[in-house]
Amino acid sequence: MKIRFYANLEKPEAAECAAALSTRARELGLKPVERGAADAVVALGGDGTILRAVHEFPETPVLGFNLGGLGYLAAVGRDDFESALAALAAGRYSVAERRMLKVVKAGASAAVALNDVVLSREMSGRSVRIDLSADGREVTSYLADGLIFATPTGSTAYSLSAGGPVLLPDSSCLVVTPMNPHALGVRPIVIRDDVRFVAVARARTPGNPVRIGVYADGALAMEMGEGDSVSVSRADVSARFVELEGYDPYDVLARKLGWSGSSVK
């Protein structure tokens, strides 16, 4: 089995860790490669490293080794690196498909995202109005700092920080989370993932400039001005993740989000 180590070299220990794991991988019968096709990518870093690996190697299953902090996507902790390689070598794993989103604007290149598509105000102190429709039906007009369209995978990222719900990775839905909305009744919505959203940028008041950045997995993909629209829908492609034998999404949630039951005695 050919594997590629993809390290976040901004982390001082990443290169050294990759070299050590490469040696151990050979001892286990795996074949580390630096170029050409691989059967799996082992991403060494945090969630940002894994997102970059997903985009750089779109057809290859990714396994995340956590060298960062929370590392929700990087499910394998430092103490389990060698046992994870052993499971990989022994074939004790499966490959899971994760839904992705596509954002399209007329005249601009489409972008895809594993975690989220974010429409964010680009002018400090100025909220924006975003008219949202779903499959041609009006949802509402948001007055907020922006909107987050998150996949189940991305529901534990920016959307969660903005007050959105947690979705399990295999959920057939996505969440739309407003960022600092100007109305208490405006809350995140969960909707099936085959819906096509259209978002239109509006000025808060007539004559005020509008500048909205459209980000796909944290990278600026395009910008919106007054009257510009983008569509957000499920992408035709998906991300592929290695899930080792015994993988339990509930266990990952409990460990990464610090769920430990009630503190009431």
CA distances from 196 to 6, 62, 114, 217 (A): 34, 28, 16, 19
Active site residue 194: no
Angle at 114 between CA 113 and CA 118, to 5 degrees: 50
CA 233, CA 252: separation in Å to the nearest integer?
Answer: 27
Q: Which of these is catalytic: 39, 47, 116, 236? A: 47
CB 215 within 8 A of CB 135: no
In 154-247, the DSSP E strands lie at: 173-179, 189-192, 197-202, 212-216, 219-224, 229-244
The phi, psi pair for 211, rounded to 5°, reads -145, 115
Catalytic residue numbers read 47
